[in-house]
């Protein structure tokens, strides 16, 4: 039996033309990919979001993604990131402070006057932790719902409940806070990730005829304020003059009081000096009187001791001797004084003097 051998079949090879087309297709696809990477940054946003593989999230933003129209929970930080082209769309969402300007807001006041707010600025911020929830409920244009449209609504509500005088002048300074509170209240309730930092409202535009009336009213009010200020200045000047006069009078009164007190002190000092001098004079006179009295007493005592018959006789003899006169003539004296009679008289006089002295003592 002859062994039957199976024929060996060679592996089929592509024809040379097929190999050439494959070799050409691979570099072409690589070129397309490189061209897409280079040309996509200059393409529109939607096209770029679809085709780009590498994308950049700028600082102050986060990256959000959609796949097949469904929002993904993936949130990327600033920097370069990769995504699947054609299947995943990407959008940067700002999470820092941003200012939205709402322009040309017409509204009607309580009295039926149409006015227009040219610009209202709203400073707001979307918190990073609420990006997914906010975009899931309100989309990327969430600020159109809660800021732009809400400002229109609140401004119209405010104007319809206030008169032109109130909106334009009286409560204009309160519109900023009212708008901020209204926006923040609804955002806190329905979109808690949105924070309203502040609202700036410009002066509304009103009809020219009414504006002229307001300007005239403001001019008159300015005149009244100027008159009031002049009156206040005059009152302040009068009050100042009054205070100056009172101060001057008080100063003069104080000076007079001080001078009077000085004079009184001088008089009191003089009085005290006179009292001291009088006391010194009285003491001196009393001392002199006491001395005279003492001298007289002592002289009386000395005289009493001296009044003896012998002393009196001596004094009598001395007196007679000193007063003796000699007369010469034809007649002689008519009385002859006896010395014994004289002695008796002297003794009686001495006893009388002694008795009187004892009575004085």
Average pLDDT by stretches of 10, the chain with 361 residues: 38 47 50 49 48 87 92 92 88 94 92 90 94 93 93 93 88 92 93 93 87 80 89 91 91 91 90 91 90 88 78 76 61 51 60 63 57
Does residue 191 fall inside a structural domain?
Answer: yes
Whether residues 119 and 198 fall in one domain:
yes
Whether residues 117 and 183 fall in one domain:
yes
Does residue 124 fall inside a structural domain?
Answer: yes
Per-residue pLDDT at 329: 56
Cβ neighbours around 90 below 10 Å, total:
21
Per-residue pLDDT at 353: 61
State the first-to-last Cα distance of the chain, in angstroms, to the nearest integer.
214
Whether residues 73 and 120 fall in one domain:
no
Look at residues 185, 206, 227 and tell me which one is the last residue of a structural domain. Answer: 206
* Owning domain of residue 54: 34-93
CATH of the domain at 101: 3.30.479.30
Look at residues 67, 93, 119 and tell me which one is the last residue of a structural domain. Answer: 93
Residue 336 DSSP SS3 = coil
Whether residues 261 and 188 fall in one domain:
no
Residue 194 DSSP SS3 = strand
Does residue 27 fall inside a structural domain?
Answer: no
Does residue 220 fall inside a structural domain?
Answer: yes
Dihedral of the alpha carbons of 149, 152, 156, 158, in degrees to the nearest 10: 100
Whether residues 58 and 101 fall in one domain:
no
Max CA separation in the chain (angstroms): 259
Dihedrals phi, psi of 233, to nearest 5 degrees: -65, -45
Does residue 8 fall inside a structural domain?
Answer: no
353 is written with which tokens?
């003097």
Per-residue pLDDT at 298: 86
Does residue 314 fall inside a structural domain?
Answer: yes
Does residue 166 fall inside a structural domain?
Answer: yes
Look at residues 164, 187, 206 and tell me which one is the last residue of a structural domain. Answer: 206
Rounded Cα distance between 288 and 296, Å, is 12
How many domains is the chain built from?
4
Per-residue pLDDT at 6: 40
Whether residues 104 and 66 fall in one domain:
no
Q: How far, CA to CA in Å, does 180 sit from each of 96, 176, 201?
A: 18, 6, 10
Per-residue pLDDT at 328: 56
Whether residues 102 and 82 fall in one domain:
no
Does residue 11 fall inside a structural domain?
Answer: no
């Amino acid at each position: 039996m002859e062994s039957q051998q199976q024929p060996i079949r060679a592996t089929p090879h592509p024809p040379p033309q097929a190999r050439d087309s494959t070799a050409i297709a691979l570099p072409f696809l690589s070129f397309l990919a490189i061209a897409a990477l280079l040309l996509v940054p200059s393409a529109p946003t939607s096209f770029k979001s679809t085709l780009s593989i590498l994308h950049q999230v700028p600082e102050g933003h986060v990256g959000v993604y959609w796949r097949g129209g469904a929002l993904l929970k993936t949130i990327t930080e600033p920097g370069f990131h990769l995504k699947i082209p054609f299947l995943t769309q990407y959008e940067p969402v700002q999470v820092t402070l941003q200012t939205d300007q709402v322009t040309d807001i017409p509204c009607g006041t309580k009295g039926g006057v149409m006015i227009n707010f040219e610009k209202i600025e709203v400073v707001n911020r979307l918190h990073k932790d609420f990006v997914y929830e906010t975009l899931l409920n309100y989309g990327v244009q969430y600020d159109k719902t809660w800021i732009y449209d809400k400002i229109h609504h609140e401004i119209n509500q405010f104007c319809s409940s206030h008169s032109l005088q109130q909106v334009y002048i009286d409560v204009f300074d309160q519109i900023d806070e009212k708008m901020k509170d209204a926006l923040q209240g609804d955002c806190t309730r329905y979109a808690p990730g949105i924070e309203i930092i502040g609202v700036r409202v410009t002066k509304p535009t009103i009809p020219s005829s009414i504006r002229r009336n307001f300007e005239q009213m403001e001019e008159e009010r300015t005149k009244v304020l100027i008159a009031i200020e002049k009156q206040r200045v005059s009152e302040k000047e009068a009050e100042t003059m009054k205070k100056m006069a009172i101060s001057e009078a008080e100063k003069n009164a104080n000076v007079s009081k001080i001078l009077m007190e000085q004079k009184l002190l001088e008089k009191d000092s003089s009085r005290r000096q006179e009292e001291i001098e009088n006391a010194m004079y009285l003491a001196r006179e009393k001392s002199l009187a006491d001395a005279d009295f003492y001298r007289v007493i002592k002289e009386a005592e000395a005289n009493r001791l001296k009044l003896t018959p012998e002393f009196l006789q001596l004094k009598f003899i001395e007196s007679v001797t000193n007063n003796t006169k000699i007369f010469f003539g034809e007649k002689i004296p008519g009385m002859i004084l006896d010395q014994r009679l004289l002695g008796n008289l002297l003794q009686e006089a001495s006893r009388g003097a002694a008795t009187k002295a004892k009575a004085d003592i």
